[in-house]
Amino acid sequence: MSQTKPAFDAARHLDAMAPALGLTITEAQRPGVLQFLGVAHLMSEILRAAPLDNASFELAPVFRPGRTSDGEPA
């Protein structure tokens, strides 16, 4: 038996995450925040559906700002 994924509930997500992140969302801001959470969810679904080849993953180079050990700019 396959399980269906529950639908994304932007309001529930906002109510749970805003306090966890220390955010105060006013009633005037809430509709806009909910709209953009919905947009972000749709974008994540597009990315999730993209086929990925696990063999093609490579680590990104590490950025270290500042100077190298010999004093030259990095």
CB contact at 8 A, 60 and 50: no
Predicted confidence band at 5 (pLDDT cuts at 50, 70, 90)? Answer: confident
- One-letter-per-residue 3-state SS of 2-33: CCCCCCCCHHHHHHHHHHHCCCCCCCCCHHHH
Write the pLDDT tens digit of every residue in 12-66: 999 999 999 999 999 999 999 999 999 999 999 999 998 888 777 777 788 778 8
The structure tokens listed for 32 are 């806009």
The confidence band for 67, taking pLDDT boundaries of 50, 70 and 90, is: confident
Closest-CA residue to 33 (of 14, 6, 60, 61): 14
Binned at pLDDT 50, 70 and 90, residue 4 comes out as confident
